[in-house]
Amino acid sequence: MNDHEARALIDRQFEQGVLPPDDALRLREHLASSPDARAYYDAHVRLERTLEGDDVPDAQLARLEALGPPAPADALDDSAPKRRAPYALGGIGAVLAVAASVAIVALIDDGEVRTRGGPASGAKAWINVFAASGDAVRPLTDGATVAKDSGLLFSYSALRDAPFRYFAIAARDESGRVYWFHPAFVEDVSPKSLALDVGVADRELTERVFVDWSPGRARICAIFTREALMIAEVDARLERDGRWPDGAQLDCHDVKVTP
């Protein structure tokens, strides 16, 4: 990492809260060796102190908590950089995760993958959406209704030659409110889109996701991209002007949420 990259990460961290664990760790290691990056970081913490009126602002504490406790000093190899324990994101799973089993029939034909309903012509990756209520699971076709308190389940398929490596799944309702299904978007954590496996048919995402829907029409979209997206950035633009990320392949499903 160079100072330019470090500054970009510090900017992002300041605006969005805690960085993803790998970025946070890389930044820590760079700060340890760069006085310029440290000065830039210090200026941001000074601003956080000013905004919160506290010598130890919550934003700084959240970053330190995310690093986790260091290894005991006698367990460290003094010749190696002192790496901090990675941040465990277990809380997200604990909130959302109820593993569900979804039976999906996939047809494999000449090395290509198709699913019920089928993807848009020429699509290299797509999702299937299911509404789950109790033990009952049903696929959501375009225009289907879904009860407000239903959980949603997803699976994705990606052809072997799909050029995408990342995906995320979100919805925007007719009032402009945005909902995130994958990855989870939780308090002060700014996730990136998720790694995508290619050459898979109906890969189940095993979390049954509940969101606080507003009744009315909504569009659920999978966003397939070559590079990982910062979800907070996508979220802000999506809510502001309804724009999905440029250069992404979208697979969208319109639904009607009932009370």
Partner 1 sequence: MNDTGDAATMQANEGLAEGRPEAFERVYRAELRAVMLTLVAGFHYRSAGASKYLRVDSASDAEEICQEAFAQFFAQCRRGRFDPSRPVRPYLRRITMNIALRKMGRLSREVPTELVDIGPAPEQDTVEQRERAALLSEFKGRLDDEEREVMSLYFEASGATQAEVGKKIGRSRDHVYRVAMRIRQQAKEFFAAKGWFDE
Applying CB under 8 A, the residues found at the interface with partner 1 are 11, 14-16, 31-32, 38-43, 45-47, 50-56, 58, 60-61, 64-65, 67-76, 82, 84, 177-180, 185, 187-188, 212, 232, 235-236, 239
d(CA 238, CA 182): 15
- Pick between residue 73 and residue 94 the one whose CB is nearest to partner 1: 73
* CB 41, min distance to partner 1, A: 5
- Pick between residue 71 and residue 120 the one whose CB is nearest to partner 1: 71
* CB 95, min distance to partner 1, A: 11
Contact between residue 10 and residue 41 where contact means Cβ atoms under 8 Å apart: yes
- Pick between residue 11 and residue 142 the one whose CB is nearest to partner 1: 11
- Pick between residue 179 and residue 224 the one whose CB is nearest to partner 1: 179
Of 193, 177, 34, 200, the C-alpha closest to 112 is: 200
d(CA 125, CA 146): 24
* CB 255, min distance to partner 1, A: 19
102-149-242 Cα angle (round to 5): 90
- Pick between residue 113 and residue 221 the one whose CB is nearest to partner 1: 221
Contact between residue 230 and residue 190 where contact means Cβ atoms under 8 Å apart: yes
* CB 162, min distance to partner 1, A: 30
- Extract long-range pairs of 60-66: CB within 8 Å, 24+ residues apart: 62/17, 62/18, 62/188, 63/13, 63/18, 63/19, 63/24, 66/18, 66/21, 66/24, 66/189
* CB 197, min distance to partner 1, A: 28
Of 225, 112, 193, 101, the C-alpha closest to 155 is: 101
